[in-house]
Amino acid sequence: MSRFWSPVVQTLTPYVPGEQPQMQRLVKLNTNESPYGPSPRALAAINQQTNNDLRLYPDPESATLKQAIANLHGLDPKQVFIGNGSDEVLAHVFLGLLKQKDAVLFPDITYSFYPVYCKLFGIEYKTIPLGSEFEIQTTNYQAPNGGIIFPNPNAPTGRAIPRKDIEVLLAKNKDSVLVIDEAYVDYGTESCIPMLRGKDCPENLLVVHTLSKSRALAGLRVGFAVGHPALIEGLERVKNSFNSYPLGRLAQAGAVAAIEDQKHLEETSAKVMQTRARLVKELNALGFDTLPSTANFIFTRHPKHAGAKLYQALRDRGIIVRHFKSPRIEEFLRITIGTDEQSNELVTTIKEILASA
186 part of the interface to ligand PLP, by CB under 6 A: no
- Residues 106-135 within binding reach of ligand PLP (CB under 6 A): 111
Contact residue for ligand PLP among 107, 188, 223, 307 (CB under 6 A): 223
| Alpha helices per DSSP H over the chain | 7-11, 40-49, 63-73, 86-93, 113-121, 163-172, 229-239, 249-260, 262-285, 307-316, 340-356
The reply on whether position 181 binds ligand PLP by CB under 6 A is: yes
- Answer yes or no whether residue 151 interacts with ligand PLP by CB under 6 A: yes
User: In the bound complex, what is the minimum distance in angstroms from residue 183's beta carbon to ligand PLP?
Assistant: 4
Report in angstroms how near the CB of residue 353 gets to ligand PLP at its nearest: 27
Q: Does 170 bind ligand PLP (CB under 6 A)?
A: no
User: Residue 152, interface with ligand PLP (CB under 6 A)?
Assistant: no
**CA 160, CA 185: separation in Å to the nearest integer?**
9
Taking the C-alpha atoms of residue 166 and residue 162, their distance in angstroms, rounded to an integer, is: 7
DSSP string, 200-218: T--TTEEEEEESSSTT--T
Q: Which of 204, 212, 275, 336 binds ligand PLP (CB under 6 A)?
A: 212
125-128/104-107 β-pairing:
parallel
Interface with ligand PLP (CB under 6 A), residue from 28, 38, 65, 87: 87
- How many residues at the interface with ligand PLP, by CB under 6 A? 12
Asked if residue 210 binds ligand PLP (CB under 6 A), the reply is yes
Which part of the chain contacts ligand PLP (CB under 6 A), choosing from 83-91, 131-139, 141-149, 274-282? 83-91
Contact 291, 158 (CB under 8 A): yes
> Quick one: which segment of 85-93, 99-107, 157-165, 274-282 binds ligand PLP (CB under 6 A)?
85-93
Of the residues 69, 123, 207, 218, which one makes contact with ligand PLP according to CB under 6 A: 218
Q: Is 187 in the site for ligand PLP (CB under 6 A)?
A: no
Q: What is the DSSP letter of 42?
A: H
Q: Is 182 in the site for ligand PLP (CB under 6 A)?
A: no
Q: Are 270 and 131 in contact (CB under 8 A)?
A: no
Burial of 240 (0-12, 13-18, 19+ CB in 10 A): exposed
211 Cβ contact partners less than 8 Å away, ≥ 6 residues apart: 217, 220, 222, 223, 255, 258, 259
- Residue nearer to ligand PLP on the CB measure, 300 or 336: 336
Shortest CA distance to 282 belongs to which of 337, 213, 325, 211?
337
Q: Which residues bind ligand PLP (CB under 6 A)?
A: 85-87, 111, 151, 155, 181, 183, 210, 212, 218, 223
